[in-house]
């Protein structure tokens, strides 16, 4: 996969358009259709994305991102897109749709096909939309593909729905709509060693500031260390500043300064206060037991 942070000429492309935050199941359909059309026509697929969320420029309300840019690029590579063009939204936010379409998309990529989601828009005041793209097919000699809403259990798969689920700590449903487990990544740092003194050593990381924030609480997670996955219990707490620590079950290696990936599977409980060390230790044991029970029933359901 080639990555460009500026406009480059790539002729006769199969274009996929969207911000693709989360790269959820609906986004996958858009991208895989563009890839399929490219292979059918012996040409290259190309995703045009923006570095920053358009609504963070146009609105006072900050949109929390499900994926960082680096994470998004990593998943795009796995999906199999040939080229990714990363643009600064500010450079194009005031352009009329027809101007952006003609002088950016057509000029630089001369697409044979364009694929978008059903609610994709571009250009000043969102003048560019699926109807616009359909109407211009013959004029610019491309085929337009509009991907309809992707529905899972009566839920339209969308970033706003997924964000709401993540804010609630409902990872089972959020992960189902994403098509993968929501995750964070970070480098293991020194903590206060409190968990170790309780008999449950933990790895501490700083929760990424550029990711959507999950509620404080205790979670069943999977921890990826150098390509190997372990079960874990994560505590995301405010004491008095945000702290994220994970007890990796049946793991006793030193991983300070190593980068780990933590995937959220299910919420175990809210934060609780304990008046004795013994009560806290007993609760941690119950939390660990929860992961085994959850795994068992998950396996049975499949």
User: What percent of the chain is helix, strand and coil (3-state, nearest 5)?
Assistant: 35, 25, 35
Tokens for 157, please give them: 């798969």
Report d(CA 71, CA 77) in Å as an integer.
Answer: 10
Q: What is the residue-averaged pLDDT of the chain?
A: 90
Question: Once rounded to an integer, what is the mean pLDDT over residues 254-282?
Answer: 90
Omega of the bond leading into 240 within 30 degrees of 0 (cis): yes
Closest by Cα among 130, 107, 112 to 39: 112
Q: What are the C-alpha distances in Å from 55 to residues 90, 165, 170?
A: 11, 20, 25
- Read off the pLDDT of residues 214-258 as tens digits, 9 standing for 90 and up: 999 999 999 999 999 999 999 998 776 678 999 999 998 889 999
Q: How much is the pLDDT for 240? A: 67
Tokens for 74, please give them: 């990593």
299 vs 48, higher pLDDT: 48
DSSP label of 122: B
Contact (CB, 8 A) for 211 and 66: yes
Tokens for 139, please give them: 């004029």
- Read off the pLDDT of residues 27-73 as tens digits, 9 standing for 90 and up: 999 999 999 999 999 999 999 999 887 666 666 677 889 999 999 99
Q: How much is the pLDDT for 190? A: 83
The residues, ordered by sequence, that sit 6+ positions from 267 with a Cβ below 8 Å of its Cβ are 169, 170, 171, 215, 217, 218, 219, 220
Residue 86 DSSP SS3: strand
3-state helix/strand/coil string of 234-286: EEEEECCCEEEEEEECCCCCCCCCCEEEEEEEEEEECCCCCCCHHHHHHHHHH
Q: How much is the pLDDT for 6? A: 92
Confidence band of 193 (pLDDT split at 50, 70, 90): low
Alpha helix (H) residue ranges in the chain: 25-40, 54-58, 69-79, 97-100, 107-109, 130-135, 137-140, 159-167, 171-178, 194-197, 277-301
Q: How much is the pLDDT for 194? A: 63
Domains and CATH numbers, the chain: 2-155 (3.40.50.620), 184-301 (2.40.30.30)
pTM greater than 0.75 = yes
Q: How much is the pLDDT for 52? A: 81
Contact (CB, 8 A) for 34 and 27: no
């Amino acid at each position: 996969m080639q990555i460009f942070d500026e406009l480059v000429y790539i002729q006769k492309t199969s274009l996929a358009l969207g911000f693709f935050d989360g790269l959820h199941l609906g986004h996958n359909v858009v991208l895989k259709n563009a890839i399929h059309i490219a292979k059918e026509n012996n040409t290259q697929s190309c995703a045009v994305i923006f570095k920053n969320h358009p609504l963070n420029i146009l609105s006072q309300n900050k949109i929390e991102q499900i994926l960082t840019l680096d994470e998004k690029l990593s998943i795009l590579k796995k999906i199999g897109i040939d080229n990714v063009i990363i643009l600064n939204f500010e450079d194009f936010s005031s352009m009329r749709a027809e101007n952006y379409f003609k002088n950016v998309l057509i000029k630089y990529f001369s697409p044979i096909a364009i694929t978008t989601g059903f609610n994709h828009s571009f250009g000043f005041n969102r003048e560019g939309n699926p109807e616009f793209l359909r109407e211009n097919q013959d004029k610019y000699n491309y085929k337009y593909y509009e991907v309809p809403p992707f529905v899972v259990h009566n839920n339209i798969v969308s970033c706003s729905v997924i964000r709401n689920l993540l804010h609630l700590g409902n990872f089972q449903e959020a992960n189902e709509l994403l098509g993968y487990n929501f995750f964070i990544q970070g480098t293991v740092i020194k903590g206060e060693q409190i968990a170790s003194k309780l008999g449950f050593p933990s790895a501490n990381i700083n929760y990424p500031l550029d990711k959507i924030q999950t509620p404080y609480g205790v979670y069943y997670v999977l921890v990826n260390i150098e390509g190997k996955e372990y079960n874990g219990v994560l505590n995301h707490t405010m004491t008095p500043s945000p702290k994220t620590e994970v007890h990796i079950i049946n793991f006793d290696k030193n991983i300070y300064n190593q980068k780990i990936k933590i995937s959220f599977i299910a919420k175990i409980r809210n934060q609780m206060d304990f008046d004795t060390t013994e009560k806290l230790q007993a609760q941690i044991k119950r939390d660990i037991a929860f992961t085994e029970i959850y795994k068992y029933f998950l396996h049975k359901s499949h």
